[in-house]
Structure 1
Amino acid sequence: MVTLVKVMESPIVIDAHTRHTTKVLFSPDNSVLLTSGQDNLVHAWTVQEWTQQHTFFGHTNSVNAIALTPTMEFLVTGSTDNTVKIWNYSSGDVEYTLSGHKKTVATVAVSPTGEYIASGSYDGEVKIWNLQTGKELLTLTEIGRNVSSVDFSPDGKYLIGAGLGENIYLWTFPSCELIQRLQGHETAVNAVKFSP
């Protein structure tokens, strides 16, 4: 279930999934709300009417991560089935299934240009993919354990990531040179995000 609250209004409750909802994401223009769940599905809802616009099905296990390209041409998902899928947003068809990870894919991010995907997995790896071809370009292993979150900087020049360890990692992009390891957390880092 997903509950949305507008300031000074009653909450809107959407019966989105038959099992737990894992992620929610607004589209870049705020016209669509995407939800993913442990029922292996992603739903897209129109914000004006709160009607279901699309359902994306094709994963064989929980969908843990969702991201949209800036133009909403493609949807990217990561799953407990160890895959990343690139979907044509309009048709709902799978363009590519990316199978490089050995464990659950917990996080995905799309570069601001829409050219690249970063995916992070419980196998401890961050992988960089070409969104247009589905080809794996690089594997980053510095995090080492259960990658929980990745994000591109708004200018596309940096990639940040974190996981089960207490550190946050910062790479230049697209060269993916590790330039900083931020320390200070005492337990696992669950999420990282660049300021817009």
Structure 2
Amino acid sequence: MTEHDAFARRVLRRETHVSRSVSTVVAMLLLLVVAAAAVSAAVLVFLDQRVLGIDPRDVVDAAVAAPRGLDPTVVVGVGAVVAVIGLVLLAKGVLPGRRPRHSMPSDRLAVVVDDEVLASAAARAARTATRLGPDATVGTVGRRTVDVVLRPAAGVDVPAVAAKDAVDREFAEIDVVPAVHARVRVQPTGRVDG
């Protein structure tokens, strides 16, 4: 593997995936503040000192006893907020942070194509094969699929197989990574152009 290949692979990875560094820094800063407060309180307890006239042991005892003296809706509300924050952080760590982009192979460059461009190419290929108007085809691209919806005028028969073949040929020429599979659907109700 050459240095250029490693560089191109790194650039493609950065352009097709979302950076998680901001959420990681925020989570680590919050964890650092909580850890610093706990260590400071432990040191103050060990030295039998008070901060601004408050004993850290009294604060911990009040925090432990607080749920018994509070309204249950407040306790449930605080628990729900903490659970939502935890779920967001878990989702950030587990779910793939993919941008709506695909890459294309190239010997000299790192080529990234936006999914909207691929959807437009799929719609154009299907529109050319079926001879429909510009507003009669809509394409959407997912991670591994391209979905083209044909909306012909009422009473017009559309060759969906020809449209699918045209989209397949288009994406075979483009050769995006990861590869996408075409799915062409014809809306059962036709448009009425006025």
Is the TM value for this pair above 0.5?
no
Kindly indicate whether structure 1 or structure 2 has the higher relative contact order, using CA contacts under 8 Å at least 6 residues apart: 2
In the superposition, the TM-score normalised over structure 2's length comes to: 0.22
In the superposition, the TM-score normalised over structure 1's length comes to: 0.22
Would you tell me which structure has more strand in proportion to its own residues? 1
Would you tell me which structure has more helix in proportion to its own residues? 2
